[in-house]
Amino acid sequence: MTGRRATRDSSPHEPADWDHGSHCGRSWIRSPFGDNGLSAKRKPDTMNIWTFLYIYLAGAVLVALRMGWHIRYRLDKYDRRFSDVRGTFWFDVILWPMLLLKPDTLIHPAFPANIWNEGRADAERELDRLAQNLPSCGSSIRYVPKEDESGDCDSEFVFDAAAVDTIMAKRLAELPAAQHGRYPAILNWLRQRDPANAAPTDVPAAWNGHFRNVAVGMMNRGLGQVKCGKCSDIIPQEQISIDSGPTGMPMSGWVYNLWCCPRGHKLLTKDAIHFFIRKSD
C-alpha cells in the first residue's frame, strides 16, 4: 500500500462538503429553531398578539360589569321584559372596541326595544301607575278613542258608569282570572265613582285600547250615547248600522264590524273574525 488516503467520490446529488467537517454540516441541516435570529424576529410579534388579547379581554370584562350594574340598578321590570337586554349585552361585550367611537354609550348603556315591543315598556308602566292611582270617576263616562283598528276615529261615546260596571263585572265573572288583563283596574275605577258628579268623566287615554271592547259591548246592547265626529250630531242607537268593512281597507284575512251613522260616517271599527288564507302555489 502506498499510504495514500482513501477518499470517497462525491456524488453529484450530495453536498460537496458531506464529510468536510462538522461546521459545514451543521450549517446545512441547522434547525430553524436554532440560534439563527428567526426566534428573535418572531418574539415581538407574539408578544404584541398576547398584549392585544389581554387588553381586549380586560375591556370586555369591564364592559360586562358596567352593563350588568346598569341592568340591575337602572332598568326596571318593564325595561327588562320588553327591551332586548340579552342581545344588546352580548353585542356590546363582544364588540366593545366599537363603542369607543361613541364613548357615551360606555357610561350610559342603551337597551333598545324589539321592533314588535316598541313603546310597550312605557305603556305597561303607565297602566300599572294608573291602576295604583285611580283618577276620580263621575256618574257617566266619556270615551274618545282617537283611533281604532281602521285608523283615525273622531267619534265620542258617553255611557252610564253604573251600567258599564254591571256588564263588565258579569263578563269578568264568566272568564278565568288569567284572561282578565287590565279590566279589573277599570272595574275598580268605575266602582269608586261619585254619583253626585253628573259631568261625564273622560276615560284615561292609557285605557283607550282596552275600553274599545267595552264600547262595542255597550253598543251591541243599544246602550249609551254616540256622537258622530263628522256630523257633530248625537246618533240614536236605533239609527246606527253595523256592516263589514270598511271598503278599501287592507283586510289581511280579517273581517271587521263597522258601526256607521245614517250618513255612512264611521263611528267605530272592531275586528270580528280572522281567516287564515293559504296562498296558491
Q: Tell me which of 96, 116, 133 is where a domain ends.
A: 133
In-domain check, residue 280: no
Q: Tell me which of 133, 151, 186 is where a domain ends.
A: 133
Q: Please determine, for residue 279, whether its predicted confidence score (pLDDT) is greater than 60.
A: no
Strand (E) or helix (H) holding 100? none
Residue type, 129: R
Strand (E) or helix (H) holding 227? strand 225-227
Total number of domains in the chain:
2
Compute φ and ψ for 150, nearest 5 degrees.
-115, 5
- Encode pLDDT of 110-165 as tens digits: 888 777 777 788 888 999 999 999 999 999 999 998 887 777 888 999 999 999 99
Q: Tell me which of 104, 133, 162 is where a domain ends.
A: 133
Say if residue 223 is in the same domain as residue 95.
no
In-domain check, residue 251: yes
Say if residue 116 is in the same domain as residue 232.
no
In-domain check, residue 163: yes
Say if residue 86 is in the same domain as residue 190.
no
Q: Which of 9-18, 54-63, 82-91, 244-253 has the lowest mean pLDDT?
A: 9-18
Say if residue 180 is in the same domain as residue 102.
no
Q: Reduce the DSSP state of residue 65 to 3 states and report it.
A: helix
Q: Which of 82-91, 160-169, 172-181, 250-259 has the lowest mean pLDDT?
A: 250-259
Say if residue 212 is in the same domain as residue 232.
yes
Whole-angstrom distance, CA of residue 89 vs CA of residue 71:
9
Q: Please determine, for residue 79, whether its predicted confidence score (pLDDT) is greater than 70.
A: yes
Say if residue 128 is in the same domain as residue 141.
no
Per the prediction, the chain carries an average pLDDT of 79
Residue type, 253: G
Say if residue 103 is in the same domain as residue 181.
no
Q: Which domain holds residue 52?
A: 18-133
Q: Please determine, for residue 17, whether its predicted confidence score (pLDDT) is greater than 80.
A: no
In-domain check, residue 12: no
Q: Please give the pLDDT value at position 146.
A: 84
In-domain check, residue 9: no
**How many Cβ atoms are within 10 Å of 72's Cβ, its own excluded?**
9
Say if residue 129 is in the same domain as residue 140.
no
Average pLDDT over residues 25-38: 48
In-domain check, residue 1: no
Q: Please give the pLDDT value at position 137.
A: 94
- Encode pLDDT of 221-278 as tens digits: 989 999 998 988 899 988 988 877 544 455 455 677 888 899 988 888 887 654 444 5
Q: Please give the pLDDT value at position 186.
A: 93
- Are 66 and 106 in contact by the 8 Å Cβ rule? The answer is yes
Average pLDDT over residues 55-62: 90
Say if residue 178 is in the same domain as residue 117.
no
In-domain check, residue 8: no
Q: What value does the CA radius of gyration of the chain take, rounded to a whole number of Å?
A: 39
Q: Please give the pLDDT value at position 253.
A: 57
Average pLDDT over residues 27-51: 59
Specify the residue for cell string 271592547.
213
In-domain check, residue 118: yes
Say if residue 127 is in the same domain as residue 34.
yes
Say if residue 265 is in the same domain as residue 141.
yes
Residue type, 257: N
Residues 6+ apart with CB under 8 A from 32: 38
SS3 letters for 167-182? HHHHHHHHCCHHHCCC
Say if residue 214 is in the same domain as residue 169.
yes
Identify which has the larger pLDDT, 234 or 19: 234
